[in-house]
């Protein structure tokens, strides 16, 4: 399984408009963060988690050439406003794309992008999406996915576990029952907005404490704002934890068995 970070920034991206701080003016590529999307390639399937506003640019830069499914964590603007860009995959593949999300997220998507869910056969000028409501563990083309309910302030958000990999963005607390589904991880990706407290996101300290409690073999911190300088953060973290950056790619073992062959 290959994981690629398409975007690792918080809701306004980095640099943010009109800021001349050290991070916003940094020439380092690791300090330039688009909004959060993630690309998972597993056993020949290509899955994107969230469609950030820069999805088109992310796909052009980091290379998903096909798309089999989209998973959504929640319906905040920074996670959904690139949704229309799945259109190009529908056109080249001549397929509708299955979309997996909780009911409240689907309701927002189906309102904002109603044309994508009410498509007519044969019209490839619009994106075509097929809604699948997440109500428990599910399979994406034979790949087992465990949804992980976490809290973003008071708002429930879905993280995802595929084999030994878990992705949890936009999170300020993890319920005990969800922590039980996070045992024996190879890689955990976790929200870590900034150094200071924030009411709806883990900060660096709470994210690191959560990693230490859950004990994945490796962890990456994401959804970072312009207060976080990549190299400074990297130097302050234990060896098995690293800040994510746009374009970062890593490998983790596939699920042990899949119920259907790759499409």
Given the rule CB under 5 A, which residues bind Zn ion?
Answer: 19, 21, 24, 76, 78, 170, 226
CB of 168 to Zn ion, least distance (A): 12
Nearest CB to Zn ion, comparing residues 87 and 201: 201
Please say whether the dihedral angle defined by the alpha carbons of residues 170, 176, 180 and 184, taken in this order, is positive or negative.
Answer: positive
Which lies closer to Zn ion via its Cβ, residue 32 or residue 45? 32
* Least Å from the CB of residue 101 to Zn ion: 14
Q: Which lies closer to Zn ion via its Cβ, residue 163 or residue 233?
A: 233
Task: Closer to Zn ion by CB, 48 or 143: give it.
Answer: 48
**Please, what is the minimum distance in Å from the beta carbon of residue 16 to Zn ion?**
5
What ranges make up the beta strands (E) of the chain?
A: 2-7, 37-42, 45-49, 69-71, 97-101, 129-133, 138-140, 143-152, 155-162, 165-168, 187-191, 218-222, 241-243, 249-251
Of 169 and 252, the one with the shorter C-beta distance to Zn ion is: 169
In angstroms, what is the minimal distance from the CB of 122 to Zn ion? 36
Q: Which is nearer to Zn ion, 111 or 259 (by Cβ)?
A: 111
For the residues of 102-158, what is the DSSP string, one character each?
A: -HHHHHHHHHHTHHHHSPPTT-TTS--EEEEE-SS-EEETTEEEEEEEEEETTEEEE
The DSSP secondary-structure symbol of 226 reads T
Structure-token match 């790949």, residue found: 143
Per DSSP, the chain holds a count of helices (H) and strands (E) of 8, 14
Q: Looking at residue 196, what DSSP letter applies?
A: S
Q: Which is nearer to Zn ion, 15 or 255 (CB)?
A: 15
Long-range CB contact pairs, 212-216, < 8 A, 24+: 213/179, 214/179, 214/182, 214/183, 214/185, 214/188, 215/185, 216/166, 216/182, 216/185, 216/186, 216/187, 216/188, 216/240
CB-wise, 132 or 198, nearer to Zn ion?
198
Name the minimum Å distance from CB 100 to Zn ion.
Answer: 18
Backbone angles phi, psi at 213, to 5 degrees: -75, -40
Determine contact, residues 164/146, Cβ cutoff 8 Å. no
**CB of residue 70 vs Zn ion: minimum separation in angstroms?**
16
């Amino acid at each position: 399984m290959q994981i690629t970070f398409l975007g690792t920034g918080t809701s306004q991206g980095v640099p943010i408009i009109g800021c001349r701080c050290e991070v916003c003016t940094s020439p380092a590529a690791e300090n330039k963060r688009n909004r959060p999307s993630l690309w998972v390639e597993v056993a020949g399937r290509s899955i994107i988690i969230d469609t950030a506003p820069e999805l088109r640019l992310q796909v052009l830069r980091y290379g998903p050439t096909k798309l089999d499914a989209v998973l959504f964590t929640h319906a905040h603007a920074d996670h959904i406003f690139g949704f229309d860009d799945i259109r190009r995959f529908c056109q080249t593949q001549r397929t509708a794309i299955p979309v997996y999300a909780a009911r409240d997220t689907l309701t927002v998507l189906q309102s904002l992008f109603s044309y994508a869910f009410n498509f007519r056969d044969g019209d490839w000028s619009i994106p075509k999406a097929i809604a699948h409501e997440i109500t428990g563990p599910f399979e994406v083309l034979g790949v087992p996915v465990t949804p992980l309910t976490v809290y973003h302030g008071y708002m429930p958000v879905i993280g995802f576990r595929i084999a030994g990999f878990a992705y949890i963005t936009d999170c300020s607390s993890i319920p005990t029952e969800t922590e039980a589904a996070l045992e024996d991880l190879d890689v955990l990706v976790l929200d870590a907005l900034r150094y200071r407290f924030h009411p709806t996101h883990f900060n660096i300290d709470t994210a690191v404490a959560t990693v230490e409690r859950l004990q994945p073999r490796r962890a990456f911190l994401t959804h970072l704002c312009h207060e976080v300088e990549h190299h400074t953060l990297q130097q302050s973290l234990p060896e098995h934890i690293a800040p994510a950056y746009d374009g970062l790619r890593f490998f983790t073992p596939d699920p042990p068995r899949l119920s259907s062959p790759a499409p």
